[in-house]
Amino acid sequence: MTVLIQNAHILTMDHRREIVGGALLVREGKIAFVGEERDLPAQTKADRVIDARGGVVMPGFINAHTHLAMTLLRGYGSDLNLQDWLFQKIFPAEDRLLPGDCGAAGDLGIAEMLLGGTTAFLDMYMFMEETAEAVKRSGIRAVLSRGLTAGDAFEEKLAEAVRLHTDWHDTCDGRIRVMLCVHAEYTNNEQTVRRIAEEAKKLGVGIHVHVSETDSETKGCLERHGVTPAQWLDSLGVFDGPAVAAHCVWLTPQDEELFARKGVSVVHNPGSNMKLASGVCPVQELLNRGVNVALGTDGASSNNTLNMQKEVYLAALLGKLSALDPTAVDAYTALEMATVRGAKALGIDDVCGVLREGMDADLILFDTCAPWWSPVSDAAAQVVYAASQEDIRLTMVRGEILMEDRVVKTVNVAAAKAAVEHAVEHLYE
Amino acid sequence: MTVLIQNAHILTMDHRREIVGGALLVREGKIAFVGEERDLPAQTKADRVIDARGGVVMPGFINAHTHLAMTLLRGYGSDLNLQDWLFQKIFPAEDRLLPGDCGAAGDLGIAEMLLGGTTAFLDMYMFMEETAEAVKRSGIRAVLSRGLTAGDAFEEKLAEAVRLHTDWHDTCDGRIRVMLCVHAEYTNNEQTVRRIAEEAKKLGVGIHVHVSETDSETKGCLERHGVTPAQWLDSLGVFDGPAVAAHCVWLTPQDEELFARKGVSVVHNPGSNMKLASGVCPVQELLNRGVNVALGTDGASSNNTLNMQKEVYLAALLGKLSALDPTAVDAYTALEMATVRGAKALGIDDVCGVLREGMDADLILFDTCAPWWSPVSDAAAQVVYAASQEDIRLTMVRGEILMEDRVVKTVNVAAAKAAVEHAVEHLYE
């Protein structure tokens, strides 16, 4: 199937190339043409022609840090402090998880992401095979990592993580990839981290890890090990291959320098960090040092959504506020964090993250009929500061239209909601 | 016309009364019943019955500080510092305003507000008769204030502000009220502020004023007058009657104490303050002192929308982050700032701001079918952290349905967009 999108304002996110009066042709899942409409080869034919009506076409959002199945715990215990929230609400509920719960949450969370223009995500959680099945049936793209913590069952869980790689890595026409995961410094020890780093090296995959989310985590690590979480993880080999460090709120300048030197990608989670009052990731400083910074929602338990548009908006606003500089984290930079930089973090920038000929067609279309789209001086600023989720008219992954006119094609939303609400009966107290 | 809304989860915002399985009856523009469905009088009949399908009904949002006509300048010069933005972009464009421009912007901005669940707003700008006409034709509620600054034409502008009161105060069945306005300390002098305060006292109306939006404004005032803007304005009588102080980012503890003592309402504008990197209004401290704090969008020029849902979300998140306390500015408090506290600030709490029998029916209905409404542990938290603008299915003011199923009934959006885009041709450089 070929799809031609015409009459579009295209933010390619490819070296800030912006095309007014643009056209984009999708053939066999890939971008066959992107450019000005007048440059489209004369005999171009398509099975389907979509008039963008002047709307904005851009790469889909890449949610670079989430816990999809925590959609089960959406908003469970809002407005509590982190310790009460984790120990009184989240951990007891997780102990009551049953097989099937995470699959249902996967369907629901993916539907939400497709409605929000997300075309790929990086996940960390348990029951990861259920999440993989949900990704497979939905058509979305994902990089999956099984959360690993020290404990009696560590080797069993690590074997599970390796099996996830064997069974799922580079499956579904490359839509699914697998990474390893160190949950965090405070839930692991020297031995478990070394084992994970070894296995990652053997498999040739990256490592996904929580780093310095809170002040107390960072201070605790200094007490336990005499160094910061970033330095401790580095000493055990976590950053010797590709790595994705989520949160990174309480980094030292030495940590920032380390990440720049080792090419570690950082994932900023402004919604979750603000809601839990964890603090602010030093985004502009990291960018200034040349660190790749991506964006994520974290889990719906602490967010309470999987809406990347909100994160883009918060990243731009919080970047300015925390620097007391209105030119910090400008609109284009925030969009890069949510697209091309996300692709780089996930190691999928060979196939997506920008709109360029030969790349997979992972893209979204914003309709611009609503009042808040007038007047428009700058399309990127408009997407970041003014667009509403309802403006997202189409979400496409590898050339397949997965959401159109606010209807998800590949998930039965009502059934997923019913299944999640059923699960909640045994999860919540 | 009578309207009965059934099967609703009602957040009355009246002393946090929350009704599950609720019904609300509207008769002659007023709330005739609000309570559990089973308590509805048996013979109740209505011209129209709306099944809320379990959705959330609450008072409409009150945008307590905006400049409606600045919708003309939406996003004009994003990501600039305040001085460049004002002097290179905003002021030159304002000098090119023509009659009719502000009316068109009024129509467009009101359409946006109705789609966003806003039922009332407090405005400050020029060409205020055009805004009043737009309010009249749209059915929305507003309190209008003509911006006043020192200069040759001061007495003329003050006479215009008084005439606005004569012509429009308490018109359209009470939907429109009028206040006076001191634009700010830095744009006025002792004499002009005294004149405005005198006239306000004579008319028996409140005063709307910008206070300590930026650090430089506050420091400048200290240099000019030896006291803070709040103290200087107070010394000239601005806070002797009802007053609404917008922004209030750089208040001293003495200023906070003054506002508590004099009953001054503060309007927090988190979106605009973050985007312009102005700083953070000390919301939780003000609330702790007993100050009434409302919420506003500021103009679309610096926001870039008039979307109160975003402000509610930012108020809750920013309140927690700036206090480094996840229990600060909880979801209910953020919603109170956007409803009952807004009504108090605008002096319209005699008719709206809560859902109670005898009050005007100014309300909104959230549909809860979308994936992000499942599971729900707390309806108020859900509205604040997870709801999307598209969930707002109905906006009603004084019992009239002004927006339903994402269609504005009283504004021709396409025509308003065309008129604004036409105006932009002579406004922008």
CB contact under 8 A, B389 and A385: no
Shortest Cα distance, chain A CAs vs residue B241, angstroms: 34
* Pairing status of strand A118-125 against strand A141-146: parallel
- Cα separation, A405 vs A115, whole angstroms: 9
In sequence order, the 6+-apart residues with CB closer than 8 A to the CB of A422 are A104
Segment A364-392 mean pLDDT: 96
Per-residue pLDDT, A60? 98
**Mean of pLDDT values over A312-319:** 98
Which residue does chain A place closest to B378, by CA atoms?
A75
The answer to whether the beta carbons of residues A275 and B385 sit under 8 Å apart is: yes
The CA distance from B122 to the nearest CA of chain A, in Å, is 19
* Cα separation values, A91 from A83, A427, B101, Å: 10, 10, 57
Handedness of CA B123, B125, B128, B133 (dihedral sign): negative
Q: Do A390 and B413 touch (CB under 8 A)?
A: no
Tokens representing residue A284 in the block: 């502009």
Where does A184-287 show beta strands of DSSP type E? 207-211, 243-247, 265-268
Where b means 16+ CB within 10 Å and e means fewer, B119-130 reads: bbbbbbbbbbbb
Is the Cβ pair B375, A72 closer than 8 Å? yes
- Average pLDDT on A323-329 reads 93
* Band of pLDDT at residue A249, cut at 50, 70 and 90: very high
pLDDT for the residue numbered A287: 97
Considering only CB atoms, A327 lies closest to which of B80, B112, B326, namely B80
Dist. CA A352–CA A364, nearest whole Å: 13
Q: What is the pTM of this model?
A: 0.97
Residue numbers in B near A307 (CB within 8 A): 372, 388
Residues of B in Cβ contact (< 8 Å) with A378: 75, 78
Q: What value does the mean pLDDT take over residues A313-320?
A: 98
Residues of chain B with pLDDT under 70: none
Cβ within 8 Å, pair A386-B80 = no
Q: How far apart are CA B351 and CA B62, in angstroms?
A: 13
Q: What is the per-residue pLDDT for B402?
A: 98
Strands A392-397 and A363-366: antiparallel
Tell which of B78, B273, B312 to mutate to test the A interface (max A CBs under 10 Å): B78
Nearest CA in chain B to A309: B388
Cα gap A249→B345, rounded to integer Å? 37
Q: Which residues of A touch B370 (CB under 8 A)?
A: 112, 115, 413
Question: Which residue on chain A is closest to B324 by alpha carbon?
Answer: A277
Can you name the residues that pair with B49 across neighbouring β-strands?
B4
Q: Report ipTM (2 d.p.).
A: 0.97
- Report whether pLDDT(A82) > 90: no
Chain B environment of A386 (Cβ under 8 Å): 74-75, 300, 303-305
Question: Does residue A428 have a pLDDT over 90?
Answer: no
Structural domains of chain B, ranges and CATH numbers in brackets: 3-59+351-408 (2.30.40.10), 61-346 (3.20.20.140)
Torsion of CA B196, B197, B202, B208, to 10 degrees: 80
Note the helical H segments in A263-298: 270-275, 283-288
Per-residue pLDDT tens over the stretch A201-238: 999 999 999 999 999 999 999 999 999 999 999 999 99
- In the structure, what pLDDT confidence band is assigned to residue A43 with cuts at 50, 70 and 90? confident
Examine residue A288 and say whether the peptide bond preceding it is cis (omega within 30 degrees of 0): no
**Per-residue pLDDT averaged across A90-97, rounded?**
92
> What does the alpha-carbon distance between residue B417 and residue A260 come to, in Å, rounded to a whole number?
46
Answer yes or no: are the C-beta atoms of A162 and A200 closer than 8 Å.
no
Amino acid at B263: G
Q: What is the pLDDT of residues A110-145, one digit of tens each?
A: 999 999 999 999 999 999 999 999 999 999 999 999
Q: Contact A307/B388, CB-based, under 8 Å?
A: yes
Confidence class of residue A75 from pLDDT cuts 50, 70 and 90?
A: confident
Contact B274 A320 (CB under 8 A): yes
Q: How far is A102 from chain B (nearest CA, A)?
A: 14
Residue in chain B nearest A424 by alpha carbon:
B375
Record: contact B81-A325, CB cut-off 8 A: yes
What distance in Å separates the CA atoms of residue A167 and residue A136, rounded to the nearest whole number?
A: 12
Q: What is the SS3 assignment for B144? A: strand
Model confidence at A79: pLDDT above 80: no
Confidence at residue B93, expressed as pLDDT on a 0 to 100 scale: 92
Query: Which pLDDT score is estimated for B42?
Result: 87
A320: chain B residues, CB-CB within 8 Å = 274-277
Task: Tell me the C-alpha distance between B321 and B316, whole Å.
Answer: 9
Residue B208, H or E segment: strand B207-211
Query: Å from A364 to nearest chain B CA?
Result: 18
Pairs of residues, one from chain A and one from chain B, whose beta carbons lie less than 8 Å apart: 209
Q: What is the pLDDT of residue B400?
A: 98
Q: Which residues of A touch B414 (CB under 8 A)?
A: 369
Tokens found for residue A236: 């055990």
* Both structure tokens of B182: 């001191």
